[in-house]
Amino acid sequence: MKRLFKRKEMTVVISLMALCLLVSLRAPGFLAPKNIDSILNDTCALIIVALGQFMVILIGGIDLSVASTMAFTGMATALINQYNPGIPAWLLLPAGAAIGAVLGMATGSLVAYGGLPPIIASIATMSVYRGIVFVMNKGAWVTPHEMTADYLAIPSAPFLGVSSMIWITVAVIAAAAVFMRLTSSGREVYAFGGNKTAALFAGVSERKVEMVVFTISGLLAGLVGVLWVSRYGMAHSETAAGFELQTVAACVLGGVSMAGGSGTVLGVLIGALFFGAINNALTVVNFSPFYQMAIQGFVILFAIVSNTLIDRKNQMRLVARRKI
Amino acid sequence: MPAPPVFFDVQERSAVGQTILEMRGISKFFPGIKALEEVDFSMRSGEVHALIGENGAGKSTLVKVLTGVYRATAGSVRFAGEDVDFRSPIDARAAGIAVIHQEASMFPDLTVAENIFSGHLLKGKARFLDWRGMREKARALLDRVELQVSIDSLVRELSVAERHLVGIARALSEDASLVIMDEPTSALSLRETEDLFKIIRALRDEGRSILFISHKFDELFAIADRYTVLRDGRYVGEGSMKDTDVDAIIRMMSGRDVEHMYPKREAKAGEEILSVVGFSRAGFYRDVSFSLRKGEILGMFGLVGAGRSDVIRSLVGLEPRDSGLVRLNGAEVRIRGPRDALRLGIAHVPEDRQGQGLILEMSIGDNITLPQVASLAKGPFLNGDAEDEVTRTYGALMEIRAAGWGENAKNLSGGNQQKVVLAKWLATQPSILILDEPTKGIDVGTKAAVHAFISELASKGMSILMISSELPEILGMSDRIVVMYEGRVTAVCDTRDVDESAILRAATGVGSGIGRAS
């Protein structure tokens, strides 16, 4: 139990609980099952994309192209749906994921084979992908009445009383946890992020690791692009604009080190949920939209600073314990 | 008494002999290590003074104490007639001591003028920077050191020799009375060295003192007036260069009381297992060949920068090479990276444990199994049982002391970290083990244990290639020795046939047919 409380993620969990309590004092409806269900559904997209982002950050990189990838696969699948309504809508999910994986691979290639720093490579593909979204439908929107009912129902279709959006998220979380903890590739990602030189000396392939994380990041963003567009019933060139920074913030909130090498799937999950809870709380408590963004920023800043301070204190304690 | 030559400033020259620096009883202890013990060191104005010693003898530590990087545990320093206690390099610079490092103190993306005045920028009216004044002075300084580059060129674009001259110009701009040069010629050609020496002599004749550190004896005899020798952190002796010779200095450097520390082992030379043939890489090493026999320890000796580690990194595929091939058991093999090397049974334990050997954020177990994590895995999935088995076996073999195998590597002491690194590579069960400075920076007790262990591995039939900068270690451990100097192999010999001075000669370019410059 004591060890549990020393984990980095715990500060965020405690902040999350404190936030929920405070908000429910002002707005009792906040903790009602219906609202919690709504928070979860709203946060699913963030959780999934943040998990991909997490893997890229683990190797000391960053993938700023995820939001553009979402817009890309969202638009692509919406157009497929519009012009080929006969294709079963559920097939568009794997299609979106596959397109996303290819886009992720392209960014990954710029890093692994072109030698570009991840931030530069992904800023480049971020613009390229969003530009292509614009070109795809000549800047026009795809609106709900141009989509089939099946397509629009993808995220909300219930199974055992829970929406498929949540089922998909649970599956992705499980897969990510298994990948990171139980596969040799996951171990290599941690090793590479922890100390690139030592990993190379140990025979870890730099290109493989870089390709793997960017491909996964693209795949997850591609999958979410489909869910996003079908959930909001709209595909346009501004879909999910700015979302990439939220995924980075969720990772950092969850204790993922921007320097690479440290962080967990659980942490990212908690970080994303915290983010989702703030967004919802600010609406429920009825803050003016003018204040929302600033308050959001302050809350995140507070969580990250306290997280860093606790981490530093733990580290000092460990160093002091070391025999010299 | 002959009249002084006219081109010397008579007044400055007469100052020769006055003691400008006096360090007395300097000790510097680090946890577990006595880097300096009661060292006396003094310099006169207007002399070039050579500080001589093997790697690890304490030269750098002494310089760091002098320049305020370290504070001495005990001892006193008098500089220019005053007792001083430098708390930081800034204090030392203000007092007139300038250090010209090999690379560290330059800003490659700033201009020559900016580099010269970094740290003491000239201020003009209203405390704005006086660029015009700085540019004028920079130009004058470059003339003085006879450097023909623009003051606006970036330091990145300069050659190593030119950077040294910029460093000297900077020292002059601070009007330093003591200039410290730490291996200034290590990357210079003969011609560039001569030019540098001309400037050094000019500085000396102005009455400045130059502390000169180099491992190259020919240079020391060409430029230095006096010398001080350190060994194992202690003062050994000093004197005038005129009254000594290479052999006497080598005797002072090496001493003779270390051989019995090393485990005795019956060398049984097996058949040739690995041979490196004609390795060359422009700018790093040229035409390097050697071979390793089964069950032997082959020592690789050379000074820092001789190219040993570069050859090894090319051998295991971490760095490219221009030409040369590798034979394993007589057949040519291609090694494109550490993974290929491991598959062929070659394990390479890098020099820098924290930087190249460990993932500090990962557990002991994950570190030990990292090189074979993929081959132990069942398909894509980790094989926890097999990993635990490997960790337990090799963790116990190396006697790693830790709360548990799940503890993070960063929480271990230096000695235990070294054991984790060794366990990690032994666990791959190599037939050839390459060790780069295996005992660097670890305490004497652990050192002896590592030596015994290496010996035991060799007697069990493992072939070991050991790079070391410590001569006693090389002589005590190796069956045969390869010596490198400036990127070339200058000697390959049986340890029984050589002594320390022969190896040192080969490693400093005065032996093996390389004549001593007069």
Return the CATH number at A35.
1.10.3470
Q: In this complex, is the C-beta atom of B361 within 8 Å of any C-beta atom belonging to chain A?
A: yes
CB within 8 Å: B373 and A198: no
pLDDT tens string B362-390: 999 999 999 988 888 888 889 889 999 99
Whole-number pLDDT of residue B210: 94
Q: In this complex, is the C-beta atom of A101 within 8 Å of any C-beta atom belonging to chain B?
A: no
Nearest residue of A to residue B387 by CA position?
A: A184
Q: In this complex, is the C-beta atom of A294 within 8 Å of any C-beta atom belonging to chain B?
A: no
Q: How many residues does chain B have?
A: 518
Tell me the mean pLDDT in the region B215-230.
88
Whole-number pLDDT of residue B516: 31
ipTM here:
0.78
CB within 8 Å: A203 and B348: no
Count other C-beta atoms under 10 Å from residue B504's C-beta: 24
- Taking alpha carbons only, the member of B439, B395, B452 closest to residue B420 is B395
List the single residue in B338, B350, B360 with the smallest CB-CB distance to A194: B360
CB within 8 Å: B359 and A185: no
Say if strands B480-485 and B488-494 run parallel, antiparallel, or are unpaired. antiparallel
- Taking alpha carbons only, the member of A208, A183, A207, A209 closest to residue A194 is A209
Q: What is the mean pLDDT of chain B?
A: 84
pLDDT tens string A261-278: 889 999 999 999 988 888
Q: In this complex, is the C-beta atom of A3 within 8 Å of any C-beta atom belonging to chain B?
A: no
Overall number of domains in chain A: 1
CB within 8 Å: A194 and B362: yes
Contacts of B350 in chain A (CB under 8 A): 198, 201
Q: What percent of chain A has pLDDT over 90?
A: 50
Q: In this complex, is the C-beta atom of A202 within 8 Å of any C-beta atom belonging to chain B?
A: yes
pLDDT tens string A284-314: 877 787 888 788 788 778 777 877 787 777 7
List the single residue in B31, B357, B382 with the smallest CB-CB distance to A324: B31
Q: What is the DSSP letter of B129?
A: B
Q: What percent of chain B has pLDDT over 90?
A: 33
Q: Which residue has the higher pLDDT, A316 or B51?
A: B51
Lowest mean pLDDT among B37-51, B162-176, B186-200: B186-200
Q: In this complex, is the C-beta atom of A184 within 8 Å of any C-beta atom belonging to chain B?
A: yes
Domains of chain B with bracketed CATH = 21-95+214-256 (3.40.50.300), 270-345+430-518 (3.40.50.300), 353-429 (no CATH)
Whole-number pLDDT of residue B231: 87
- Checking if the pLDDT of A251 tops 50, the result is yes
Q: In this complex, is the C-beta atom of A258 within 8 Å of any C-beta atom belonging to chain B?
A: no
Q: In this complex, is the C-beta atom of A321 within 8 Å of any C-beta atom belonging to chain B?
A: yes
Q: In this complex, is the C-beta atom of A151 within 8 Å of any C-beta atom belonging to chain B?
A: no
**Chain B: nearest CA to A59, how far in angstroms?**
13
CB within 8 Å: B382 and A205: no
Within B67-216, residue ranges assigned H as helices are 89-95, 112-116, 131-144, 160-173, 190-205
- Checking if the pLDDT of B259 tops 60, the result is no
A–B: how many Cβ contacts below 8 A?
A: 82
User: Cα separations (Å) of B388 from A38, B72, B340, B344, B358?
Assistant: 44, 46, 24, 24, 18
- Checking if the pLDDT of B224 tops 70, the result is yes
Predicted confidence band of residue A279 (pLDDT cuts 50, 70, 90)? confident
The span from the first CA to the last CA of chain B, in angstroms, equals 26
Whole-number pLDDT of residue A319: 60
CB within 8 Å: B338 and A198: no
> Are the C-beta atoms of A190 and A196 separated by less than 8 Å?
no
CB within 8 Å: B373 and A323: no
What's the half-sphere exposure (Cβ side, CA atoms, 13 Å) at A201? 27
Whole-number pLDDT of residue B513: 40
- Checking if the pLDDT of B260 tops 70, the result is no
Lowest mean pLDDT among A3-7, A18-22, A75-79: A3-7
Q: Please name the helix (run of DSSP H) or strand (run of DSSP E) that holds residue A96, with its range, or none.
A: helix A92-112
**Chain A: nearest CA to B371, how far in angstroms?**
5
- Taking alpha carbons only, the member of B333, B292, B234, B242 closest to residue B34 is B234
**Chain B: nearest CA to A37, how far in angstroms?**
34
Q: Which residue has the higher pLDDT, B442 or B179?
A: B179
Q: In this complex, is the C-beta atom of A324 within 8 Å of any C-beta atom belonging to chain B?
A: yes
> Are the C-beta atoms of B32 and B8 separated by less than 8 Å?
no
CB within 8 Å: A184 and B424: no
Domain that includes residue A110, residue range = 2-321
Q: Which residue has the higher pLDDT, B185 or A66?
A: A66
Lowest mean pLDDT among A84-93, B10-19, B97-106, B193-202: B10-19
Q: In this complex, is the C-beta atom of B31 within 8 Å of any C-beta atom belonging to chain A?
A: yes
Q: What are phi and psi of B175, to 5 degrees?
A: 55, 50
CB within 8 Å: A187 and B371: no
Whole-number pLDDT of residue B16: 54
Q: In this complex, is the C-beta atom of A187 within 8 Å of any C-beta atom belonging to chain B?
A: yes
Whole-number pLDDT of residue A6: 56
Beta bridge partners, B98, equal B179
Q: What percent of chain B has pLDDT over 70?
A: 89
- Checking if the pLDDT of A182 tops 50, the result is yes
Contacts of A199 in chain B (CB under 8 A): 359, 370
- Checking if the pLDDT of A86 tops 80, the result is yes
- Taking alpha carbons only, the member of A212, A223, A203, A207 closest to residue A180 is A212
Whole-number pLDDT of residue B307: 86
> Are the C-beta atoms of B12 and B18 separated by less than 8 Å?
no
- Checking if the pLDDT of B5 tops 60, the result is no
Contacts of A197 in chain B (CB under 8 A): 355-356
CA dist., res. A139 & res. A276, Å (int) = 30
Contacts of A57 in chain B (CB under 8 A): none
pLDDT tens string B274-303: 999 999 999 889 999 999 999 999 999 987
Whole-number pLDDT of residue B140: 92
**Residue B414 exposed, middle or buried by CB count within 10 Å (0-12, 13-18, 19+):** middle
Whole-number pLDDT of residue B10: 33
- Checking if the pLDDT of B104 tops 80, the result is no
Whole-number pLDDT of residue A294: 85
CA dist., res. A246 & res. A226, Å (int) = 18
Predicted confidence band of residue A114 (pLDDT cuts 50, 70, 90)? very high
Contacts of B126 (CB under 8 A, 6+ apart): none
CA dist., res. B202 & res. B195, Å (int) = 11
Whole-number pLDDT of residue B8: 33
List the single residue in A185, A191, A205 with the smallest CB-CB distance to B362: A191
**Chain B: nearest CA to A6, how far in angstroms?**
15
Nearest residue of A to residue B350 by CA position?
A: A201
- Taking alpha carbons only, the member of B107, B187, B116, B100 closest to residue B149 is B116
- Checking if the pLDDT of B410 tops 90, the result is no
Count other C-beta atoms under 10 Å from residue B459's C-beta: 15
> Are the C-beta atoms of A256 and A54 separated by less than 8 Å?
yes
- Checking if the pLDDT of B515 tops 50, the result is no
- Checking if the pLDDT of B500 tops 50, the result is yes
Tell me the mean pLDDT in the region B92-111.
82
